[in-house]
């Protein structure tokens, strides 16, 4: 798969079909089959891949994905890619491992709405899965095993074949001049690297970027987990790999394009008049010119893996 350029139409099929052994699956292969199987939802109508679409870098185009019975999810679907090194998962960081994260959507009332005990029972009653898990674990399916195989598959969804990666590895021509200028803005004037740092452009930290006002923007974010008022309106900083193919943006999907996101950071007060507890780093506008906004956007596009880039 490395270095392969595919279209959005074929990307999903490649992710689904590549490297699966029906008779003796590995943990990763069994997790992949389950990721695309509707057996883990209450009414057997959706799978993990219904919201985490392979051709969209395992994200969604809706502000709020639709769970069973067409119920909207509570937050925007983040990408399921490049999570192997993450220490906290979900927008509010309520999961501390991929194993914990993997079970969350299954049990969530607004997503797959299937109690984990029932999910395990279904798999035990399914001829294929019962046999496959027994071959792997020498026992009947358990909750722990279900979490393990799904997490094992998610750990394979890493990307590193981007113009940016080639650029930092010594290929000066890998990024366009606009993207190079955008990178300089990213780590300089635009101050993006203050939050988006590391190889996946997230430092597993929480920030209040001003999208909570207690009136029209009422999701409390991390506060709902820790009940610490200093975290009111804080959300986990998302990674930026493949960000160009994962609109809409933010926990509530309120920005439809990367340009909208950049313009928000450029002048936050034009979008949210009276934010509560906003990080002090956003108190002053960036005053980026139109040309600088375009350069910064070009850099963000350079974080797209080859498999998602249009031919």
List of residues 6+ apart from 189 with CB closer than 8 A: 286, 288, 292
In Å, what is the CA distance from 174 to each residue of 258, 277, 296, 310? 21, 40, 16, 16
192 known member of a binding site: yes
Last residue of a domain, one of 126, 154, 182: 154
196 known member of a binding site: yes
**Among 262, 182, 204, CA closest to 83:** 204
Q: What is the CATH number of the domain that holds 64?
A: 1.10.760.10
In this structure, are 173 and 139 located in the same domain?
A: no
**End-to-end CA, the chain:** 16
251 known member of a binding site: no
Q: Domain span at residue 212?
A: 163-308
Is 3 inside any structural domain? Answer: no
Q: What is the pLDDT along the chain (311 residues), one digit of tens a residue?
A: 333 333 333 334 444 444 445 678 999 999 999 999 999 999 999 999 999 999 999 999 999 999 999 999 999 999 999 999 998 999 999 999 999 999 999 999 999 999 999 999 999 999 999 999 999 999 999 999 999 999 999 999 999 999 999 999 999 999 999 999 999 999 999 999 999 999 999 988 999 999 999 999 999 999 999 999 999 999 999 999 999 999 999 999 999 999 999 999 999 999 999 999 999 999 999 999 999 999 999 999 999 999 998 74
Residue in the block written with tokens 């190889």? 199
In this structure, are 142 and 270 located in the same domain?
A: no
In this structure, are 71 and 168 located in the same domain?
A: no
d(CA 247, CA 307): 17
In Å, what is the CA distance from 122 to each residue of 46, 114, 306? 15, 10, 38
Is 72 inside any structural domain? Answer: yes
**Among 149, 150, 177, CA closest to 163:** 177
In this structure, are 40 and 99 located in the same domain?
A: yes
In this structure, are 195 and 140 located in the same domain?
A: no
- ∠ CA(217), CA(219), CA(223), 5° rounding? 135
Is 131 inside any structural domain? Answer: yes
In this structure, are 110 and 188 located in the same domain?
A: no
In this structure, are 79 and 204 located in the same domain?
A: no
In this structure, are 145 and 167 located in the same domain?
A: no
Domains: count for the chain: 2
Is 172 inside any structural domain? Answer: yes
Is 280 inside any structural domain? Answer: yes
In this structure, are 275 and 138 located in the same domain?
A: no
301 known member of a binding site: no
In this structure, are 86 and 200 located in the same domain?
A: no
Is 1 inside any structural domain? Answer: no
CB 49 within 8 A of CB 60: no
Is 2 inside any structural domain? Answer: no
Is 92 inside any structural domain? Answer: yes
Q: How many residues does the chain have?
A: 311
In this structure, are 173 and 266 located in the same domain?
A: yes
The pTM score is 0.90
In this structure, are 133 and 222 located in the same domain?
A: no
């Amino acid at each position: 798969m490395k270095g392969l350029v595919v279209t959005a139409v074929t990307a999903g099929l490649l992710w689904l079909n590549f490297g699966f052994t029906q008779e003796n699956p590995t943990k990763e292969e069994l997790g992949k089959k389950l990721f695309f199987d509707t057996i883990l939802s209450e009414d057997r109508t959706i799978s993990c891949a219904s919201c985490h679409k392979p051709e969209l870098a395992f994200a969604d185009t809706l502000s709020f994905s639709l769970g069973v019975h067409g119920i909207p999810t509570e937050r925007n679907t983040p990408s399921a890619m490049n999570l192997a090194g993450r220490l906290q998962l979900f927008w509010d960081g309520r999961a501390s491992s991929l194993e914990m994260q993997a079970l969350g959507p299954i049990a969530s009332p607004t997503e797959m709405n299937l109690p984990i005990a029932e999910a395990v029972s279904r798999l035990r009653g399914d001829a294929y899965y019962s046999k496959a898990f027994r071959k792997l674990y020498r026992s009947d399916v358990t909750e722990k095993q279900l979490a393990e195989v799904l997490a094992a598959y998610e750990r394979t969804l890493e990307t590193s074949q981007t113009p940016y990666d080639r650029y930092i590895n010594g290929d000066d021509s890998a990024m366009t001049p606009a993207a190079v200028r955008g990178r300089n803005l990213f780590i300089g004037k635009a101050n993006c690297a203050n939050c988006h740092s590391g190889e996946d452009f997230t430092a597993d930290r929480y920030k209040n970027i001003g999208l909570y006002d207690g009136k029209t923007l009422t999701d409390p974010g991390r506060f709902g987990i820790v009940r610490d008022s200093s975290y009111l309106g804080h959300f986990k900083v998302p990674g930026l790999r493949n960000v160009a193919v994962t609109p809409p943006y933010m926990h509530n999907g309120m920005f439809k394009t990367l340009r909208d996101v950049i313009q928000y950071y450029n002048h936050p007060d034009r979008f949210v008049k009276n934010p509560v507890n906003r990080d002090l780093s956003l108190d002053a506008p960036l005053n980026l010119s139109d040309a600088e906004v375009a350069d910064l956007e070009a850099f963000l596009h350079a974080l797209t893996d080859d498999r998602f880039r249009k031919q």
